[in-house]
Structure 1
Amino acid sequence: MSQNFTPPAPDSYSPVAAPAPVRRGNIGLAILAATGTALVAGAAYGGIMNAISFQIGYLAAGVGLAVALVAVRLGGRNPVLPVLSAVLTLAGVYVGYLLDAALSVSEYDGTPVSELLTTELVWLNQAYVDNIDPISLLFYAIGAYAAFQMARKSGD
Structure 2
Amino acid sequence: MSQSVPPPQQPQYGPTGGNPYAQQAPAPAPGTPYPPQPGAFAPPAPPAAPVRNNLVLGLLAALAAAVVVGALYGVIIGATEHEIGWAAVGVGFVVGLVAGKAGGRNPALPVVGAVLALGSVYLGQLVGEAMLIADHFHVGFNEVFFEHLDSVQKIWKEDADPLTFVFFAIAAFAAFSGAKKAAA
TM-score, normalized by length of structure 1?
0.86
What's the CA shift for 1:23? 2.1
Q: Which residue number in structure 1 is paired with residue 55 of structure 2?
A: 27
Q: Secondary structure at the match of 1:117?
A: helix
- Given residue 83 of structure 2, which amino acid in structure 1 is its aligned partner? Q
Q: Which has the higher helix share?
A: 1
Counterpart in 1 of 2:142?
A: 114
Aligned pairs for 1:87-102 within 5 A:
87-102=115-130
Give the % identical residues: 40
The aligned amino acid for 1:69 is: L
Deviates more, 1:106-115 or 1:13-22: 13-22
How far is the alpha carbon of 1:56 from its aligned partner?
A: 1.6
Pick the structure with greater CA Rg.
2
- Opposite residue 126 of structure 1, the aligned amino acid is K
Matched, 1:149 2:177: yes
Q: CA RMSD in A?
A: 1.7
Q: Please, which runs of 5 or more residues in structure 1 have no aligned partner? A: 1-10
Q: Measure how far apart 1:19 and its partner are.
A: 2.0
**1:116, 1:46 → 2: CA distance?**
14
Greater relative CO, 1 or 2 (CA 8 Å, sep 6+): 1
Stretches (4+) displaced over 6 A: none
Paired with 1:80 and 1:136, the residues of 2 have a C-alpha distance of 26
Once the two structures are TM-superposed, the CA of residue 114 in structure 1 deviates from its matched residue by 0.7
1:86-130 CA-to-partner distances (Å, cap 9, x unmatched) read 000001101110011100000111232111221211121122112
- Report the 3-state secondary structure (helix = DSSP H, G, I; strand = E; otherwise coil) of the residue aligned with 1:15: coil
Aligned partner (choices 64, 85, 88) of residue 92 of structure 2: 64
Q: Distance in 2 between matches of 1:146 and 1:117?
A: 27
TM-fit CA distance, 1:153:
3.3
